[in-house]
Structure 1
Amino acid sequence: MDEKNYKQVKTKRGLNYSYYFSAPSSSDKPTLFFSHGFPSASFLWRKQVPFFEQLGYGIIVPDHLGYGGTDKPTDTKFYGGRGLAEDQVDILDAENVKQVIAIAHDWGSYAVSCILHYFPQRVSAVAFLAVGYRPADGAVNPITQPEFFRNTLGVDLLAYQRFFVEPDAAAIIEKNIDSFINLLYPETPEVWKSHLSVDGATRAWIASNRITPLPSYVSEEDKDRLRKSLLSGGLGGPLCWYKQQIDESNLAEADKLPASARDIHHPVLYIAFTKDFVALPIVMDKTHEKYIKGPLTRKEVAGDHWALMSHPKEVNEISKEWLEGL
């Protein structure tokens, strides 16, 4: 991803966004909108962008709020709902792109879901990687209602999120950033079972500054880039993506969304990563069964949460085949 292709725009909310842009090779080629999650920035897509650029697609890859060259407010009201969707639409407008095919991962799936809720006409189709569609629902809160996963799956699936919303989480992570990176990018995927989905285990791992080897798909250069990116702006902004789930104003806005706006009629690709022990495919499948009313294509890749890094050829080829069939 050539640094010369990065641009800046100030959104209507007064926020400065950095984004990668390259134009399509011809007027009949659509533009792909790549949406990253926690704790990455736009460089997460470095193994996808060149592949699709060579095929002639237009490319837009924002640094989402809190990351990279984009503003990093620590007020959670900026990280949810219509406002978040408007920011992304402002980027499209800056490039005079009327409609995109969105490809999303992790919290990037939430960001794209917000566009689908409020500006569905700006998306022609959407691919969800690992984390599926996130319907706006203020009544369902994975942080304050852990019994849902305990009762249905027998595991405190998102226990780590209760640490991420605690007041001292950012400081602990910044102090022990290498330990944090080793946990978020584990040498073996099963680590997430015992240290993300057990109450108190995430805090204990990071606070003790536990260091483990990197997985094969993360180089020391990758780790250094991620470390510098996170420490340059701090974790206060990125953790707001979790905190917005318990922000009363965001919850109230979600409750006002008409039920019909939660249904998705777009063509959808869902790529399940079968060794992801937090973004469980079974959970995504149940959500998709309820809300996706358009054509759904479901594929699997035998990788962990970061299979778009560890298995880029498979992910890219599956996405390419789906795109060509639209």
Structure 2
Amino acid sequence: MDTSKLKPNDPRVKYETKQIRGKTYSYILGEPQGPKLETVVLVHGWPDMAFGWRHQIPYLMSLGFQVVAPNMLGYAGTDAPRDLSQFTLKSVSADIAELARSFVGQDGQIVLGGHDWGGAVVWRTAYYHPELVKAVFSVCTPLHPLSAEYKPLEDIVAAGHMLNFKYQLQLKGPDVEARIQGKDMLRRFFRAMFGGRGPNGEAGFSTSDGVHFDVLDKIGAPPLLDEQELEYYVEQYALQEAPELRGPLNWYRTRELNAKDEMDRAKNGPPLRFEMPALFVAASKDNALPPAMSKGMDAFYKDLTRAEVDATHWALTQAGDEVNRVIGEWLNKALNGATKAAL
């Protein structure tokens, strides 16, 4: 089958919705042409959407997988609740589990993959619902231990730690939500987020400051989105009522709620331990989630495979073929050679 990246509204896949725990989730559904091996659920991050997996979906379909890629809570046709507790990793993990079981049944299993916030989601989903997950992988996002206590990000950054997360202080505040509204501003925002530059090389986003509002109107075409893809991002985000970024930015407003969900488990168990095969793919030039953040995570896994690709945070598109190769080889091993014929 054709394994080229998905185009907007690509006829090779379906676009569907389901009611999941009282919320409408939209998702991309890809079916293999031959017998189905397994179901793969792909979870995107910020500020992306299911279409962010456009290089991986056709490839996984060609290997014989059914692929389900939801637009996550707050994004592109999926509900954006006002209640922040709906956006916690524990709550979203329950959403992913129910969505997955609608495809594989109560006793079935899935392969689960994530990127960025989606990586955080898949590690927690595999922890909260281990019986559901046959194998799990994350691109860029390492495992974060359970939160034994809550520490405000402001205090952590002020102490000189986690400076690569400093941009999150801006994102969880009011400015980006208030100022990035309407299609023209969304268009400028996506040009900046996906690598566009100003005439003198100015960046529209940095991990130290977040969105650089003063240069947004100067940013040129992004290298990681063609014109058709850029317009698709704008149109899909515009499906949400204004302010269009409220839902996506809510993910950055849940730090305390996530900690409260995990404090008891961090102290009393069950321990953060993964028995299923796992894969972590780091991106060598990722400024937000540098590979060094993954130091020590091996201790939590029975069977962890590591890989690294030469890419920025946008490895799924920037190094799409290499990411696919790594995932494909790992899946063949994790599933005892099931994909060998397709590979």
Deviation at 1:40, TM superposition (A): 1.1
Q: Is the 8 A contact 1:26 1:56 kept in 2?
A: yes
Deviation at 1:177, TM superposition (A): 2.6
1:90-127 per-residue CA deviation (whole Å, 9 max, x = no partner) reads 11222234111111100101221221221111111111
Distance 1:40 1:194 in 2: 16
Alignment-mate amino acid for residue 229 of structure 1: Q
Deviation at 1:192, TM superposition (A): 11
Q: Structure 1: which 5+ residue stretches go unaligned?
A: none
Q: Structure 2 vs 1, CA of residues 166 and 85 (structure 1 numbering), >3 Å: closer, same or farther?
A: same
Aligned length: 312
Distance 2:203 2:222 in 1: 16
User: CA-atom RMSD, angstroms?
Assistant: 2.6
Q: Which range is displaced more, 129-138 or 115-124?
A: 129-138
TM-score, normalised with respect to structure 1:
0.86
Q: How does 1:3-82 map to 2 (within 5 A)?
A: 5-12=14-21, 14-23=22-31, 25-26=34-35, 29-82=37-90
- The structure 1 residue matched to 2:290, chosen from 267, 275, 280, is 280
Q: Is the 8 A contact 2:136 2:278 kept in 1?
A: yes
Q: How does 1:72-151 map to 2 (within 5 A)?
A: 72-97=80-105, 98-137=108-147, 139=149, 141=151, 143-147=153-157, 150-151=160-161
Q: How does 1:235-246 map to 2 (within 5 A)?
A: 235-246=245-256
1:106-153 per-residue CA deviation (whole Å, 9 max, x = no partner) reads 0101221221221111111111101122343152657234348834xx
1:6-39 per-residue CA deviation (whole Å, 9 max, x = no partner) reads 2222123x11111222445435x12111110111
SS of the equivalent of 1:239 reads helix
Identity %: 25
Deviation at 1:187, TM superposition (A): 4.2
Q: Is the 8 A contact 2:195 2:223 kept in 1?
A: no
SS of the equivalent of 1:49 reads helix
Distance 1:61 1:242 in 2: 21
Alignment-mate amino acid for residue 87 of structure 2: Y
Q: Structure 2 vs 1, CA of residues 294 and 238 (structure 1 numbering), >3 Å: closer, same or farther?
A: same
Q: Is the 8 A contact 2:42 2:112 kept in 1?
A: yes
Q: Structure 2 vs 1, CA of residues 313 and 195 (structure 1 numbering), >3 Å: closer, same or farther?
A: closer
Q: Is the 8 A contact 2:39 2:67 kept in 1?
A: yes
Q: Is the 8 A contact 2:191 2:221 kept in 1?
A: yes
Q: Structure 2 vs 1, CA of residues 62 and 44 (structure 1 numbering), >3 Å: closer, same or farther?
A: same
Moved over 6 A (4+): 191-194
Q: Is the 8 A contact 1:30 1:57 kept in 2?
A: yes
Distance 1:210 1:138 in 2: 43
Q: Is the 8 A contact 2:276 2:302 kept in 1?
A: yes
Q: Is the 8 A contact 2:204 2:216 kept in 1?
A: no
SS of the equivalent of 2:92 reads helix
